[in-house]
Homo-oligomer: A and B are copies of this chain.
Amino acid sequence: METQTDLKSVNNKTAQKKEESRAYEMATKQRDISVAEFFSRNKHLLGFDNKRKALLTTIKEAVDNSLDACEEARILPEISIQAIDMGNDRFRIIVEDNGPGIVKAQIPKIFAKLLYGSKFFKLSQSRGQQGIGISASVMYGQLTTGRAARITSKIEPDDPAHYYELMIDTEKNKPKIVKESIVEWEKDHGTKVEIDIEASYLKGGQSVDEYLKQTAITNPHVTIFYTSPKAEQFIFARAKDELPKQTTDIKPHPYGVELGRMIKMLQVTEARTLQSFLTTEFSRVGSGTAKQICENAALLPNTKPKDLSTEMAEKLIKGIKETKIIAPPTDCISPIGNELLEKGLRKEINAEFYISVTRQPSVYSGNPFIIEVGLAYGGNQPGDKPANLLRFANRVPLLYQQSACAMLRSVTSTSWRSYGLQQSNSSIPIGPLTILIHIASVWVPFTSESKEAIAHYPEIIKEIKLALQDAGRKLGSYVNKKKRVGFELKKRGYIEKYIPHVGDSLKNIVGLAEEDRKKVEEMLKEILEQQRGKLESMEFDEEKNQDYEQELAISRKDSEEGDLDD
């Protein structure tokens, strides 16, 4: 009895003590945070920092989705965008496409659930990759205007269209269906998204107008109809009746797979031996390479994958690192291509010299990527301002967070002085120049969910710099040629100026008749024109490049000194 009482009192005491413990008190407050709650508090991570950006982000997410869907279904995209100013910072955004449409059951989740989608799980190039964007826009609309998003989608000409009014239950990150119905829609197939948001509209560098203009540069296969909040109509007509090359999903490349992921892959694979695991689950591993990996890892090729311990998986990773494996396949990436890139630049930028460079594919963390660079020089671009930098990722223009972007770092760490431009240390070069940079990859490493800047992966920065240097050398050569031509023309100008005097003098000295004088003058001019013609058709000469740059450096120095006098 006594013992029992004692025990009881001890228990009571413990219970009481535990009640008093701060740890217990703190435990009562701990709970799950839904990803929707998280992002509704962190709207700026999704590109909703301010009203102006909110307008751009909402349209961008809808357009990204439309373009991805059209391209995946091999449909030439036709997209109509309306941004209607309803007063009091309220805007109605309507984006309609001719895409494949979305099956009924998927509509609520795609538009009203964060982290839901198809693109996250495959390694292939697409604009969306996170399953966040459009649902984030719906959530932002709901937070700021209290209104549900309206979605209409149709997948077949004979089928009816499905209409939904959707909100997000942020506590659960689940769709809340406010209304659903079947509606008539004259379209064969497509999707229409209508969201009311709090926003503001301003023209200029980071505007919706600019975003669509730049989208047209890198997506010449797209037709865009745009009605701005000022009710202006813009049509960006398709420049090319052909879709970009269809990209295929790839398997991961062995070099990019970390230990933790390898262990998981070993557990879930259906392969029965390590050898077949390596050849079936990875790209670029044939049976020879697989044997080599096993040998380097000191593992038997016929080991069952599930039997590999953590230590053995570590050996496997080490073995992979010691084996030479060719770079990942690149049919998963669809660059814009030199020709189209230059064409796009010519269409939008009034310059006198255009050059574009597409690099060979490269790899960061096992993800293949391609860098493309275009330069447009001269024309009516201001010569005394920093160059204009246009950034693109998987054909999507990036308008914000330039200072956080690996592309800026690559530009500022390139030496532009040797290409005939001014540059104070580690800043954007000064001159009449537009620099376009595009990264195409199966997985673009953005610095935040709002997908505005590229993270500073050394492999990416290196590739961009190499592309800039390649294009820059050609630019430098042009700038130098231009200076030489200018110099030659100046010389010819002097001679032309003196031809009449030469004629006169000859007339006096040799006693030419007036007719002969004219004849001599014309002959002289003819010779002159021939020489000048040769000069103007002078082709870029790779071998002389070095010399050009040296001369260039000298003439630049001259002209700078000249500038001081001005």
Say how many copies of this protein the assembly contains: 2
Question: Once the chains bind, are A72 and B32 in contact (CB under 8 Å)?
Answer: no
Residues of B within 8 A of A448 (CB): 45, 447-448
Question: Once the chains bind, are A44 and B455 in contact (CB under 8 Å)?
Answer: yes
Residues of B within 8 A of A130 (CB): 33, 38, 42
> Within 8 Å of chain B (Cβ to Cβ): is A322?
no
Residues of B within 8 A of A113 (CB): 32
Question: Once the chains bind, are B143 and A259 in contact (CB under 8 Å)?
Answer: yes
**From B21, B69, B313, B457, contact of A146 by CB (8 A):** B313
> Within 8 Å of chain B (Cβ to Cβ): is A449?
yes
Complex Cα–Cα for A155 and B19 (A)? 11
Q: Which A212-252 residues sit within 8 Å CB-CB of chain B?
A: none
Question: Once the chains bind, are A143 and B258 in contact (CB under 8 Å)?
Answer: yes
Q: Which A128-158 residues sit within 8 Å CB-CB of chain B?
A: 130-131, 142-147, 155-156, 158
> Within 8 Å of chain B (Cβ to Cβ): is A73?
yes
Question: Once the chains bind, are A22 and B72 in contact (CB under 8 Å)?
Answer: yes
**Quick one: which of A22, A73, A143 has the most chain B CB within 10 A?**
A22
Complex Cα–Cα for A45 and B38 (A)? 15
Residues of B within 8 A of A72 (CB): 22, 26
> Within 8 Å of chain B (Cβ to Cβ): is A404?
yes
6 A-B contact pairs sorted by A residue (CB < 8 Å): A29-B122, A33-B117, A34-B115, A40-B260, A144-B260, A146-B313
Residues of B within 8 A of A49 (CB): 455-457
Q: Which A104-135 residues sit within 8 Å CB-CB of chain B?
A: 105-106, 109-110, 113, 115-118, 120-122, 130-131
**From B31, B37, B261, B313, contact of A118 by CB (8 A):** B31
Q: Which A409-429 residues sit within 8 Å CB-CB of chain B?
A: none
Question: Once the chains bind, are A155 and B32 in contact (CB under 8 Å)?
Answer: no
CB distance from A48 to the nearest CB of B (A): 11
Complex Cα–Cα for A309 and B143 (A)? 15
Binding site for B on A (CB under 8 A): 14, 17-18, 21-24, 26-27, 29-35, 37-38, 40-42, 44-45, 49, 69, 72-74, 100-103, 105-106, 109-110, 113, 115-118, 120-122, 130-131, 142-147, 155-156, 158, 170, 189, 258-261, 263-264, 310, 313-314, 401, 403-404, 443, 445, 447-449, 453, 455-457
Complex Cα–Cα for A18 and B158 (A)? 11
Question: Once the chains bind, are A120 and B455 in contact (CB under 8 Å)?
Answer: no
Question: Once the chains bind, are A21 and B258 in contact (CB under 8 Å)?
Answer: no
Question: Once the chains bind, are A33 and B116 in contact (CB under 8 Å)?
Answer: yes
Residues of B within 8 A of A102 (CB): 23, 26-27
Question: Once the chains bind, are A22 and B100 in contact (CB under 8 Å)?
Answer: yes
Question: Once the chains bind, are A144 and B259 in contact (CB under 8 Å)?
Answer: yes
**From B27, B45, B260, contact of A106 by CB (8 A):** B27
Question: Once the chains bind, are B258 and A144 in contact (CB under 8 Å)?
Answer: yes
Closest B residue, CB atoms, query A24: B103
Residues of B within 8 A of A34 (CB): 115
Question: Once the chains bind, are A131 and B33 in contact (CB under 8 Å)?
Answer: yes
CB distance from A171 to the nearest CB of B (A): 9
Complex Cα–Cα for A322 and B105 (A)? 44
Question: Once the chains bind, are A105 and B260 in contact (CB under 8 Å)?
Answer: no
